Amino acid sequence: MTFSTRTLQLTTGHRETAVDITDHCAAFLDEVAAGGDGLLNVFVPHATAGIAVIETGAGSDDDLLAALRELLPADDRWRHRHGSPGHGRDHVLPGLVAPHATLPVVDGRLALGTWQSVVLIDTNGDNPTRTVRLSFLC
């Protein structure tokens, strides 16, 4: 059994966003998977971001952000009150969009469905830099 890990530093900016990181995952696997089978864990070590496996480019990523805005409005209802107004909602986000995903790797490649991508979801405009940890276990 082998284990390889790497961290990525990504700039997400100062407004909510969905960042497709599938290519980063694939590049990591090209280096460490050697055509083998295993599991890729994608983890964001932040209390205000998550990892989703969704379709991108056809509007689903924007739809997810819109749904999160509706479910978690940036207003003064939140008990967690530091940062920008409504920032407490960002701390609830990982309860809906988990901060991790574990994905199958077959023959050294992500075994995703046709329209699936690995996406970093970040609603926290107060923190424009994010770390993502990729870990491959085979």
| List of domains in the chain | 3-137 (2.60.120.460)
Write the pLDDT tens digit of every residue in 66-124: 999 999 999 989 888 888 888 899 999 999 999 999 999 999 999 999 999 999 999 99
Q: How confident is the model at residue 78, as a pLDDT? A: 87
> CA 88, 91, 95 angle in degrees (round to 5)?
130
| Res. 128: pLDDT tops 90 | yes
Q: How confident is the model at residue 84, as a pLDDT? A: 83
Q: How confident is the model at residue 86, as a pLDDT? A: 85
Q: How confident is the model at residue 68, as a pLDDT? A: 97
